[in-house]
Every structure is written in structure tokens, then in C-alpha cells.
Chain A
Amino acid sequence: LAKTTQPISMDSYEGQEVNITCSHNNIATNDYITWYQQFPSQGPRFIIQGYKTKVTNEVASLFIPADRKSSTLSLPRVSLSDTAVYYCLVAIYNQGGKLIFGQGTELSVKP
């Protein structure tokens, strides 16, 4: 599985858009890019997944350039409750949920 690199921490203010970029230079053809969110004392929660171009759901957008060597998670208008650790993962589709977590980005949203 491809290794991912993302910033260790980020700060933001309420109402701002937050973009977290993840590098995955060794991504393989069958790999999908997945993002998870984890609050303290809870298990991680799936946010979004993509293969290429742009994916949007009710929570976030995921931008993936053509070479797929990086991806950017975009959180629109963050609130205090978005303070959490965000993990970028590269996972093989149809491997049944086996995930290898990197270090994650600790996002702190301030009033």
C-alpha cells in the first residue's frame, strides 16, 4: 500500500474553508484515496473516497489531479465541531476494508 504524507497539524477559524493536502507518490492503479475523521475517544469515521478528478458529498470535497500523486480534502466553512484528526489513506478497492493509517493531520478550529 502506498505511503501517505500530510501535514501534522493545521489551524483555522470558524467559517473558513480548510484544505488539507496529502501526498501519495507511489499510488498504484488499483488504489483508491480515502479520508477519515477521528474525534477524541472515538473510532475513525469515513468522510469521502475518490479515484480521480473531483468528488463531493454533503461533508467535504476531494480533489485529485490527473497523476493521482496527491489529493486535497476540502472542508467548506468549518465550525468548532470540525476540530479532529483527519487521515488520508490509500486503500485497495475490494480488499475488504483493510486500511493502513498514516500520521494524520490534527485540525484545530478556533472561534
Chain B
Amino acid sequence: SAVISQKPSRDICQRGTSLTIQCQVDSQVTMMFWYRQQPGQSLTLIATANQGSEATYESGFVIDKFPISRPNLTFSTLTVSNMSPEDSSIYLCSVTGAGVMNTEAFFGQGTRLTVV
């Protein structure tokens, strides 16, 4: 299994500002994933964070709004830029554990973001 730590666990931010969310994994992983979960909704994949290359964004998400860094095999950051109240969500980091079938993913506890 993989243990994932996300920081911060929650934050309240002013509109127009940016927040960077950190994701730390206790083992090296090839791909890390960022999801958004709006209140009462399911999870939506934002992007795949690849080490050594640009992140791959899903339809509806762009790098200018959600820049991602992946400096090494255990760490990634997601920035929510120029925030608006519509960005209020839980943001989750996910990885696949080494040595297990690749549909078994592990998630962090999430970052609960409120934009006021």
C-alpha cells in the first residue's frame, strides 16, 4: 500500500488568490493524479502528474488555472489559481501502489478548499 499526505487539510481563501496543495507519498510512484470533488458530487479527474514531463490535463481543466509540479517520484503540487467561489471543493491526490494491480489506487485525505 501507499501512504499519502496532503497539505493543507483545509483552507479558506479569498477570491482572486492562489493556493498550492502539496502531496507527499511514502514510496516512489510513476504517476500521480489530482482529483476534484465538489460538494455532494463524485470525483472528477483534473490531471495526471508525470515526473519529468508536463502534466496531462483532462477536458475542462487547463494548466493556467491548475498548474502542477512533479519534481520527483514522491511529491507533487497542485495550484488553484485566481480562485473563485466555484473552486470551493475537496482536492485529492492519488497514486497506484507499487507491486499491486494498477486499478488499485490510494488516495490522500484531501484538501478542503473554501473560497470566499
Contact = CB atoms under 8 A, between A and B. Distances in A.
Return the 3 tightest CB-CB contacts between A and B, nearest first.
Answer: A43-B107, A97-B96, A91-B103
**Interface of A (DSSP majority class):** loop
A102 interface: yes
Interface in A14-35: 32, 34
User: In terms of DSSP, what is the predominant structure of the interface of chain B?
Assistant: strand
A45 B92 CA distance: 12
B115 interface: no
Contact of A97 (B33, B92, B108, B112): B33
B101 A49 contact: yes
How many of chain A's residues touch chain B, expressed as a range?
A: 20 to 34
B42 A95 contact: no
Interface residues of B, number: 25
B14 to A, nearest CB: 24
Given A42-B107, A93-B102, A97-B105, 17 more contacts: A34-B103, A43-B4, A43-B106, A43-B107, A49-B104, A87-B43, A96-B31, A97-B33, A97-B96, A98-B33, A99-B33, A99-B94, A99-B105, A100-B45, A101-B42, A101-B45, A102-B42
